[in-house]
Amino acid sequence: MNVGKAVALFCCETTFLDDSLLMVYMNKQSNPTRAVMDISSIGYAILATILALALLLLVVYIRGIIYRRKAAMANLDHVRMEGKTVIITGASAGIGKETARDLARKGARLILGCRNIPKATKVAEDIRNTTGNEDVHVKQLDTSSLASVRKFANEILVEEERIDVLILNAGIAGLDHRNLTADGLEYTMATNHFGHFLLTNILLGLIKKSRPSRIVVVASSALTSTLRVDNLNFEKGGFRSFKSYAQSKSCNVLFTRRLADLTKGEDVFVNSLNPGFVSTEIFDKSGGLMVGKFVRLFVLFTGRTEVQGAQTVIYVAASEEGGSTTGKFFKECKSSSKADALLNNEELAKQVWEASERLVDLQPNEKHY
């Protein structure tokens, strides 16, 4: 049996091709010569396709190596943060975990707001062991639940005297279908935007009292220019997994712009950032063809490490620049124009803010601007 026929037969046996192909190959009663020629041609075509895919994966892998080597580093080992309290949401894995580890090394008091307490407890213990900083604490927080956000925030107000840095990091990459939370909010939007919007508003009074202080918003470069303020929860249709993610991250950027305006001149520095394309758990529960299949596979070959992904977060949270500029978007540890189209849209930022207030039912005692 030649190579072409062997490949075709193998593909049939492993269901890559329809069973009828195997029948054509085995059926030599009518025209055995023609059958062998057809299957041989198909076999060579399959082999060529496999080789082309292998070459593509090699190119992607090489580009991934280059992308990782180009990752910017915060280079802030000299910075100390003793006496400063930092809250990080979604710090039980990925970028949040490595950001927490770095800031712990700098001496900061850390509060990890996490949904999965057993997992976060193990991470906190690991951070204590690797940094020598015992001032690392875990509290329950599910940003997809407004009740959980309010409980967490009100406990912080009672227990903490200051908040020097609030890092809004928790997020998901997008679900396969439009799912609603108990509050009637689309799940991706609730986790990535609405929960953080409510949390920041409730804590803003204490953040102002702790000034100079910072609010660091982990966004993305996956932004959309077709955001509809009257359809933030996709109740009017148009839901797609990747679209919900891009919309939530666009809201992060617009939220940054509006909050920077509202706190201007008060020594509260609000900035958003793109951590890069990072291989983390964020894609594990995502759905849809684009995010759930393609991106999850692609990130294995090209994604940066969690430590690399945390660098811009660390930079905005601890650098001199992050504490002297507001309303900006950062990428590769420096200010970027990538999100200027959104950051410069003052009216849209205001509309998203007002819509978010209504959708989270922001109470008068939760407003501090």
Contact status, residue 313 vs residue 218, Cβ threshold 8 Å: yes
pLDDT given at position 1: 46
Helix (H, G, I), strand (E, B) or coil at 348: helix
Strand arrangement of the beta sheet that strand 213-218 belongs to? 136-140, 109-114, 85-89, 165-168, 213-218, 268-274, 328-331, 334-335
Helix (H) or strand (E) holding 290: none
pLDDT tens-place string over residues 111-154: 999 999 999 999 999 999 999 999 999 999 999 999 999 999 99
pLDDT tens-place string over residues 62-71: 877 888 888 9
Helix (H, G, I), strand (E, B) or coil at 85: strand
Query: What would the DSSP string read from start to end of 121-173?
Result: HHHHHHHHHHH----EEEEE--TT-HHHHHHHHHHHHHH-S--SEEEE-----
Ranges of the chain whose pLDDT falls below 50: 1-29
pLDDT given at position 11: 41
CA atoms of 60 and 261, how far apart (whole Å): 41
CA 218 centroid distance within chain: 7
Other CB atoms within a 10 A radius of the CB of residue 155 amount to: 14
CA atoms of 14 and 322, how far apart (whole Å): 55
Is 245 noted as a catalytic residue in this protein? yes
**What tokens appear for 214 in the block?**
């910072």
Query: What would the DSSP string read from start to end of 310-345?
Result: THHHHHHHHSTGGGT--SEEEETTEE-STTHHHHT-
pLDDT given at position 15: 41
Helix (H) or strand (E) holding 273: strand 268-274
pLDDT given at position 6: 41
25, 44, 61, 245: the active-site residue: 245
Helix (H, G, I), strand (E, B) or coil at 114: strand
